Amino acid sequence: MSIHEVFMPALSSTMTEGKIVSWVKSPGDKVEKGETVVVVESDKADMDVETFYEGFLAHIIVEAGETAPVGSAIAFIAETEAEIEQAKSLANSSGVAATPTSSPQTVAATAAVATPALTSQNGSNHKEGRLVVSPRARKLAKELKVDLTTLQGSGPYGRIVAEDVEALSNKGKQPATAPVVPPVPVSTSAPVAPPAPRTPAPATVVAAVPGQIVPLTTFQNAVVRNMVATISVPVFRVGYTITTDGLDKLYKQIKSKGVTMTALLAKAVALTLQKHPLLNASYSDQGIVYHSDINISVAVAMDDGGLITPVLQNADAVDIYSLSRTWKSLVERARAKQLQPQEYNSGTFTLSNLGMFGVDKFDAILPPGQGSILAIGASRPQVVATPDGLFGVRQQMQVNITSDHRIIYGAHAAAFLQDLAKLIETNPQSLTM
């Protein structure tokens, strides 16, 4: 008998449990090695999960919408149709869904731990002649009665995506095949083009009812764990007032070209960090970790609860127009829960901006694994004394930095803020160079 358990995979370093978004395969369906069988919501994103085994999906232990700890069995795969009933009996008799274990036992086989099918991994998972289809495309093909074997996918490595199915259904012809391009190594001087987002299912928002207890979402639980993890870190905070007249003028000039204020602020911070590498560093038991790249995380609130920090990688080296396009794509895919791990866990410095809500100033909580986070308030007109002894009105914003006091001291943070203010106030045009 060859029956394999499929386990809830760890899709990120902080993930302790996952939620089943949808099963791509139904019980009794044939599955191939490396084929997507289920979509899992981790603490950061929705990801396709593949199986290491070929056979039949015999029994689903954790249904769509349910949650299971990392490492617990979520399904059985039988190598032959004759073993499907045996797998069902095994599931019913062993009660595997109730008690996940850190070292799951399998029957006459090694456990098949499902792995995330990331865009960057499609090359290594791709097998010539195998049909690679996104979950949404497969569902759409069933609804529109489109034969997937007649399609050539436009996704990475020929993966069939929903747009391919729609194109064939609407136009009655096969979409053009995208060229097969091998993965490109990440450069420290140029941004990597992000994968195209797939259209997500509408987010489920639970309406709050007085007197009712609403369970935390997977995202919210991840935020809780991260915030609790920061309690043991000694931090200090420093505030600074920055005049933004020049920055605001520049923003108005280039806004029509797609430039966002978030990208401008991230660029300003990244350029300043070039002069202050300690503020871009982080603490470890071995000492101070000086990061080779300047990757700016920016906090984004999720529509259905939780918080995520998409990362503008190499923000100091990327031009402001590319940076803005990247940021727009990151936000869209973050809210669609389609970010890849390196797009949310590679940050070296974080920005948290509540200025759009009219907040004057606030203190941000230091993210685990980073040395500093900058809280940005709203830019407001203020009456100030000018150098010639008169009064004038200037646009000013309050920023507050929270830093890890184990490696960064008050003078370090103050010098960083001073240089940041100098760049924004006297040379904002440098952000476009």
Strand 55-60 to 30-31 pairing: antiparallel
Rounded CA-CA distance 152/176 in Å is 7
Q: What are phi and psi of 277, to 5 degrees?
A: -60, -25
Q: Which tokens in the block code for residue 155?
A: 């996704």
- Please write down the long-range contacts of 250-258, taking CB distance under 8 Å and 24 or more positions apart: 250/428, 250/429, 250/431, 250/432, 254/320, 254/432, 257/321, 258/321, 258/324, 258/325, 258/328
Rounded CA-CA distance 305/307 in Å is 7
Among the listed residues 4, 126, 291, 405, the single catalytic one is 405
Is the C-alpha dihedral spanning 123, 129, 135, 136 positive or negative?
positive
* Number of residues in the chain: 433
- Catalytic residue check, 405: yes
Give the helix, strand, coil percentages of the chain, each rounded to 5.
30, 25, 45
Identify whether the C-beta of residue 360 lies closer than 8 Å to the C-beta of residue 397: no
CA-only gyration radius of the chain, Å: 25
Closest Cα to residue 310, out of 272, 257, 352? 352
28: left (phi over 0), alpha (psi -120 to 50) or beta: left
Identify whether the C-beta of residue 46 lies closer than 8 Å to the C-beta of residue 24: no
Dmax of the chain from CA atoms? Answer: 91
List C-alpha distances in Å: 184 to 125, 190, 254, 311, 317: 16, 11, 31, 19, 18
Reported as half-sphere exposure (CB side, CA atoms, 13 A), residue 11 has a value of 31
Burial pattern 125-134, b for ≥16 Cβ within 10 A else e, equals beeeeeebbb
Say how many C-beta atoms besides its own lie within 10 A of residue 80's C-beta.
13
Using CB atoms within 10 A of its CB, is residue 86 exposed (0-12), middle (13-18) or buried (19+)?
A: middle
List C-alpha distances in Å: 58 to 62, 110, 116, 130: 13, 17, 21, 21
Active site residues: 405
